[in-house]
Amino acid sequence: MAHVAELAVRVRGDVATGMAAALSVEADAGLPRVRASVARPGGAVVLRLEADDPSALRAALNSYLRWADLAANVSRTAAPGQRRRPPAERGRPAKRAARRTTHTKG
């Protein structure tokens, strides 16, 4: 008996394109005991997973959810025409580099 999960993520434009492309690469590469397919109907990215057992399905869901989140974040960050503002412009103080101290024996 196959265990099935279907996820639909609503995203827009370049983010949807980037996410669908990234997940398709992973689906083509495959995971042990799991079959995956990616579709992009309308404004959503739909992922369908079929696994041989519940453990494989859970592991695949965890992997694909992380990959989808990563792909969305990369697509948003790398979107053409978008400039990422420095932390100070976003209302947060900039992180300061930690000072490295070296001690020498003399």
User: How confident is the model over 92-106, as pLDDT tens digits?
Assistant: 555 555 555 555 565
Report if residue 10 sits inside a domain. yes
Alpha-carbon span 41 to 51, nearest angstrom? 23
Q: Residue 8's domain spans which residues?
A: 1-52
**pLDDT tens figures, 10-26:** 988 888 888 999 999 99
Report if residue 48 sits inside a domain. yes
pTM for the full model? 0.69
Report if residue 12 sits inside a domain. yes
Give the total number of structural domains in the chain: 1
Report if residue 68 sits inside a domain. no
> Which tokens is 26 given?
């992973």
Report if residue 86 sits inside a domain. no
